[in-house]
Chains A and B, each alone.
Chain A
Amino acid sequence: MLPEEVTKFIGQVSGTSIFEVEKEVIRRFADAVDDSNPLYWDEEYAKKSKYGAIIAPPGFISSPWFSNRPTKWPKRGTTASDATAGLRPALANAGLGRGLDGRMEYEFFAPVRAGDTITAETKITDIIEREGSTGRLAFLITETTYTNQNGEVVAKARATSIHR
């Protein structure tokens, strides 16, 4: 049984971030993947495309840069709730302090362009205990909704991490 100290976070919003999508940050991201798609690099090319601007690769918006902001800059971005600060220590106390990324699911609704401002709200959807081959595991599932400056939902993500 997972302790109440852990399960009390289920259903809570773990954080809201607001971030700006910028050309050089997109280029750096594309370079790290080794993806030379001109839509991410070449502004002249991108302007002539159906997008009209440099776009971010799908998945760019999940960058931890945009979510794991220190709380000393609350005006610029993350409103970190109790859940962000409290959940990891609670998992560690329960002997589940080692985490690994397990899975990611996306649904994409609209492109993300350089110059957009994105608001990301993350909710802790579930924390499920399982017996793994090496012992007790907890699956942490979070869902994030990404909205642009026009109020359009551009993407939704569902992430699963595995804690042991």
Chain B
Amino acid sequence: MAKQLYWEDVEVDSEVTPLPKVATSLMLVKWAGASGDMNPLHYDNSFAGGQGVGKPIVHGALKRQWLIQLMTDWIGEEGFLKKFSCQYRAMDYPRAMKTMTEPEEGETWQCKGKVTKKYVEDGEHYVDCNIWVENEKSEVTTPGRATAILPSKG
């Protein structure tokens, strides 16, 4: 795991450590089972076509969890994620599987973030961030915001 981040280590415009993710049809199946989101929009070609999205799409909530991981990885064990929000603005399509464990070549998504504000309130040290998921064309499909409490060196 990375070295613990402290409030004193970040400034406005500091970058959150980027987190790459690859959505595959396998990941979507795992996510459906693990979260209980059984919407056929995410696994059934015919149903997805009928809903007007073309092919099965990545669950919005899975992208939400990617962005939550973006923050929890960056703030470390001593940090606390206080607020989080994201919008599922554009659709993402998973890579197909080539073997039982390997996906086809294809898209990699990047989860990124940037500090917009740092402040102290009621003795806690906060950072606000803009966060987002970018597809391979660098389009933002899932924008969001997060607020975290960071430990302070005092």
Contact = CB atoms under 8 A, between A and B. Distances in A.
A63 to B, nearest CB: 4
B99 interface: no
Interface stretch (A7-15, A73-81, A96-104, A146-154): A96-104
Contact of A35 (B37, B65, B81): B65
Interface stretch (A54-62, A86-94, A118-126): A54-62
A108 to B, nearest CB: 6
Contacts of B68: 57-59
Interface in B56-83: 59-62, 64-66, 68-69, 72-73, 77-78, 80-83
Interface residues of B, number: 36
Contacts of A108: 80-84
A28 interface: yes
B64 A59 contact: yes
A85 to B, nearest CB: 18
A105 B82 CA distance: 11
B6 interface: no
Interface stretch (B7-15, B27-35, B126-134): B27-35
Nearest to B143: A103
A57 B65 contact: yes
Please classify the interface of chain A as helix (H, G, I), strand (E, B), loop, or mixed, using the class held by over half of its residues: mixed
A63 B36 contact: yes
Nearest to B51: A98
A37 B87 contact: no
Contacts of A117: none
Contacts of A37: 1, 69, 72-73
A37 B1 CA distance: 8
Given A39-B77, A63-B35, A101 B88 contact: yes
A68 interface: yes
Nearest to B53: A100
User: Most chain-B CB neighbours within 10 Å: which of A39, A50, A103?
Assistant: A103
B66 A103 contact: no
A100 B89 CA distance: 11
A119 to B, nearest CB: 17
B52 interface: yes
A103 B86 contact: yes
A66 interface: yes
Interface of A: 25, 28-29, 31-35, 37-39, 49-50, 57-59, 62-66, 68, 98, 100-108
Interface of B: 1, 21, 27, 30-31, 33-38, 41, 51-52, 59-62, 64-66, 68-69, 72-73, 77-78, 80-88
Given A29-B34, A31-B34, A104-B86, 12 more contacts: A28-B33, A28-B34, A29-B35, A32-B35, A49-B77, A59-B64, A63-B34, A63-B37, A65-B35, A103-B86, A105-B83, A108-B81
13 contacts: A31-B30, A33-B31, A33-B65, A33-B69, A35-B65, A37-B69, A58-B84, A63-B34, A100-B60, A101-B59, A104-B86, A105-B85, A108-B84
